[in-house]
Structure 1
Amino acid sequence: MPEVPDVGPLAAALRSLYAVPPEDFMAERRRLVAAEKADGDPAVAKEIGALRKPSLAAWAVNLLAREAPDLVDGLADLGGRMRAAQGRLDTATLTSLRPERDQLLEEVVRTTVQLVADAGRTCSPAAQQDVRATAIAALADEQAMAAVASGQLARTLSYSGFGEVDLAEAVVRTTSGAILSVVKGGGAGPRARGDRRRDDHGAGEHDQADDERGDDERGDDEVGDADGGDAPDEAQLRAALEAAEKQLAVAESEVGRARERAEETRERLAVVERQLAKARAADERALEAVTDAVRARKAAEAARHTAQEALAEHGGPHA
């Protein structure tokens, strides 16, 4: 994520943008960009314009974070207990928590499906699997839990069974690495709540120290060799800066086009998924019709056989 110029307006925009239905995302993003430009804040407008449209499954998880905060709280609580037991290598506790884990995951998926249905959409089996995988990732990783609680996922998460959960391009972060915003009432652990306080009031001392160390480390690479020849003059430096800015502009343009193509692809995929759901429903109705027809045919055959036997008893010819 590029540097966040102003956490306050951007955080407010995130809350608004990721709360709208997927089909309204692009229009809402354009509205927010126009509003920030009108307020004289082009830097924030640029950041808002770069926000990714969530996948349908990510939108469903965001919906869960907003509409079922108690359930997300439960997910955070269980995840904390499981990670603590894992840290102690307490296999007995982990085993005892397994039924609670399975029940909670089922409730997360079931509630999400219902919320999506209440919003006038269908949560496909594939999307349900993505929702479940995201909940598993939240149980395993504290930062993933904070991302889920933020209600601002752009994509769903997954956990491979070791290491940290990859949050790249999944949720907006500040330059300190903290998740930008957490939905009030959502289940976030102590780390997430600390991140939220830093987001509201600026980076904490720990983050500032990290940034200063990063500057020192970068300085070793950026400082030229004192014996490596004459230092470049101002004109050369300006030329290098201009070239770098042009390269950045081209790269940002490519990123924008790529994101637009991805969003268009997701829209087409959503249409195909809806058509597939309709086709499956039609196929089920057709199979039911076949079953009814076969049943009717058997009934007709039985009736014919009964009539033939009755006719034979009366000495008449067989049909």
Structure 2
Amino acid sequence: MPDVPLPLAQAMQRLYAAGLDEFMAVRSELVARTRAEGERAMAADIGKLRKPSVAAWAVNLTARQSPEVVLALVRLGSRMRAAQGRLDTAALTALRPERDAVVRDFVEAAVRETESAGRSLGPGAREEVRATAVAALADEGAGAAVSSGQLTRALSYSGFGEVDLSEAVARTASGAILTLVPGARDEGDRAGETAGDTAGDAAGDTDQPSLGDLEQALEAADSQLAQAEQAVARARERAEETRERLAVVERQLAKAREADERALEEVTDAVRARKQAAAARSAAEQALASGSTLR
């Protein structure tokens, strides 16, 4: 690292390029050197940068060592979002094999680069890497986060809305996400625009969903919603039945505990009576023995 003061962005890139076991030491070094150079505010910002999880570190390593895999992910994500925006279900269906291949390549690259760095990814971390790839396909911001090589935790996509990036990626002081993979965001946007333009030029207005198609999609959605509501109703009925059975069992358990307490009391009384009877018998035996001796 040069002796001259470093911009925060350069310090962030240096830090998140470090090995996972070296992160804390590199951060301390950067904080100390930046503070010594009189950049106290920058030193404070560096000190707040979070250590990545194993899965996030693997994604960051992949962005640096296999940028072509990340670029393919970003480009495909842009095309998929463009098709989704046009409600082009045929295009989305056609892209499914490519989607599966790109996600698989991304996970395999992460495993390969991690092993080259002397570590391994367990099943849980591999699943987090896969979930991060899916999130990058679904959301432009998630794609930029993956391209930055500065993730602090894995990403996930719930199937609707935007991907939650809070505390998930290191940012510059202005809040911007740095893009490590050259041209990832711009080329991804162009890929999406090209996909949309090509579809429109090739088939004109006929490629746009017709009113009948939209009505069919709405009917299908209504059917799915009705089925989901029925499933919810059945689940609630089963839950209610389970609660009722549980209440019966709890009442039976309470009665059993009461019976057990009464039984214990009866045992105590019986033991006490037995002791008294034994004492009376002993006294009678002694009295009988004494009478025999006097005769």
Instruction: Specify if TM > 0.5.
Output: yes
Match of 1:182 among 176, 179, 183: 179
Alpha-carbon shift at residue 192 of structure 1 (Å): 8.9
Residue matched to 2:131 = 133
Task: Name which one, 1 or 2, has greater alpha-carbon Rg.
Answer: 2
How big is the shift at 1:77? 0.8
The alpha carbon displacement at 1:172 in A equals: 2.5
TM-score (norm 1): 0.56
Assess if the C-alpha contact under 8 Å between 1:130 and 1:157 holds in 2: yes
CA contact (8 A) 1:66 1:186 kept: no
Q: 2:97 aligned to 96, 99, 102, which one?
A: 99
| Structure 2: distance between partners of 1:186 and 1:34 | 33
Q: How does 1:236-251 map to 2 (within 5 A)?
A: none
Runs ≥4 in structure 1, deviation > 6 angstroms?
190-193
- 3-state SS of paired residue (1:188): helix
Deviation at 1:89, TM superposition (A): 0.5
1:301 paired residue number: none
1:58-137 equivalences under 5 Å are 58-137=56-135
Question: Distance between the aligned counterparts of 1:176 and 1:90, measured in 2?
Answer: 37
CA contact 1:134–1:156 (8 Å) conserved in 2: yes
List alignment gaps of at least 5 residues for structure 1: 1-7, 194-319
Correspondence 1:9 to 2:17: no
Aligned mates of 2:126, 2:186 — CA distance in 1: 25
User: Quick one: distance in 2 between partners of 1:158 and 1:166?
Assistant: 8
Cα offset, 1:185, TM superposition: 2.7
* Letter aligned with residue 118 of structure 1: S
Structure 2 Cα separation of the partners of residues 186 and 134 of structure 1? 20
- Once the 2 structures are TM-superposed, how far is the Cα of residue 191 of structure 1 from its aligned partner? 8.8
**Partner SS for 2:185:** coil
Distance 1:162 1:14 in 2: 31
**CA offset at residue 186 of structure 1?**
6.5
Q: In the comparison of the two structures, how many residue pairs are matched?
A: 185
Residues 4-83 of structure 1: matches in 2 within 5 Å?
9-83=7-81
Residues 251-300 of structure 1 deviation map (CA, whole Å, 9 limit, x = unaligned) = xxxxxxxxxxxxxxxxxxxxxxxxxxxxxxxxxxxxxxxxxxxxxxxxxx
**Structure number having the greater helix percentage:** 2
Matched AA of 2:168: A
- 1:153 correspondence with 2:161: no
Q: After the TM superposition, which of the residue ranges 143-152 and 184-193 deviates more from structure 2?
A: 184-193
Q: CA RMSD in A?
A: 1.9
| Partners of 1:26 and 1:186 in 2: CA distance | 30
Deviation at 1:176, TM superposition (A): 5.4
Give the secondary-structure state (helix, strand or coil) at the position aligned to 2:184. Answer: coil
Paired residues of 2:70 and 2:147 also in contact (CA < 8 A) = yes
CA distance in 2, matches of 1:18, 1:79: 24
In structure 2, C-alpha distance between the alignment counterparts of 1:156 and 1:121, rounded to whole Å:
18
Work out the percentage of aligned pairs sharing the same amino acid: 58
Cα deviation digits, residues 44-84 of structure 1 (max 9, x gap):
00000000000010000000000011111110110010000
